[in-house]
C-alpha cells in the first residue's frame, strides 16, 4: 500500500492510499482523483517522507510539563492549514450524515418549514446566492456550505 501526499490546483493538501504507483497513475489518467475539499481533479503528487517504524515513543520523563509536549508557537502555516482543512472536512461529513438532501427544492422546503406547512428538520440542498438572500430577508436562517461532489458519495 502506498500512501501519497497530494495537492490540488487550489493548494489543498490531502492524503491518498493506492495499491501501487501504477494504480495512482491510472486513477489520475482516468480523472478519478479529486480533492475532497473542492472537487478539483487537477491533483499532483507531492514529496513525502517515508514512514519508518523505529520503535515506540520514549516514555515522558517524570515531572515533565505538558508544555514539553506542545508544538512550537511558530508552527508552520502549512500545519495550521492542514488542521483547518481537516476540521472543515470532518464538519462537512457530520453535516452530510445528519441532514436530509432536498436538492433543488431547498428554498421551497425551507419556506414550508418556516411557515409550519412542513415538519422542521435539518435539510440541505442547492440554492443560488439570490435565493439565499431572499430566504434571509424572509427571516429564514440559511448557511451556505460548499460540498464537493466527492463528499456526496460514500468514501472508501
The residue ranges of every structural domain in the chain are 1-47+77-98, 99-145
Which residue in the block uniquely carries the three cell numbers 519508518?
52
Cβ(59)–Cβ(23) below 8 Å:
no
Residue 15 DSSP SS3: strand
Residues with Cβ within 8 Å of residue 86, at least 6 apart in sequence: none
Q: Is 12 exposed, middle or buried (0-12, 13-18, 19+ CB in 10 A)?
A: buried
- 32/83 Cα distance (integer angstroms): 25
Which residue in the block uniquely carries the three cell numbers 517524570?
62
pTM over 0.85: no
Residue 6 φ/ψ, nearest 5 degrees? -120, 160
C-alpha cell at 34: 479529486
Cβ(16)–Cβ(3) below 8 Å:
yes
Residue 146 φ/ψ, nearest 5 degrees? -75, 125
pLDDT digits (tens, 9 = 90+) for 60-90: 666 555 555 545 544 566 677 778 888 888 8
Task: Say what the pLDDT of residue 51 is.
Answer: 63
Q: Is 107 exposed, middle or buried (0-12, 13-18, 19+ CB in 10 A)?
A: buried
Residues of the chain with confidence (pLDDT) below 50? 70, 73-74, 156
Task: Say what the pLDDT of residue 74 is.
Answer: 46
Amino acid at each position: 500500500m502506498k500512501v501519497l501526499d497530494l495537492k490540488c490546483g487550489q493548494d489543498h493538501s490531502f492524503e491518498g492510499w493506492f495499491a501501487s504507483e501504477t494504480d495512482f497513475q491510472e486513477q489520475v489518467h482516468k480523472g478519478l482523483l479529486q480533492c475532497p475539499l473542492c472537487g478539483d481533479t487537477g491533483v499532483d503528487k507531492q514529496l513525502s517522507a517515508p514512514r519508518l517504524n523505529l520503535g515506540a515513543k520514549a516514555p515522558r520523563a517524570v515531572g515533565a510539563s505538558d508544555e514539553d509536549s506542545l508544538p512550537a508557537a511558530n508552527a508552520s502555516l502549512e500545519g495550521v492549514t492542514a488542521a483547518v482543512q481537516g476540521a472543515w472536512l470532518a464538519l462537512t461529513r457530520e453535516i452530510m450524515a445528519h441532514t436530509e438532501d432536498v436538492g433543488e427544492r431547498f428554498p421551497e422546503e425551507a419556506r414550508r418549514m418556516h411557515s409550519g406547512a412542513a415538519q422542521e428538520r435539518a435539510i440541505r440542498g442547492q440554492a443560488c446566492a439570490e435565493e439565499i438572500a431572499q430566504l434571509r430577508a424572509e427571516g429564514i436562517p440559511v448557511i451556505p456550505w460548499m460540498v464537493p461532489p466527492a463528499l456526496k458519495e460514500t468514501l472508501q
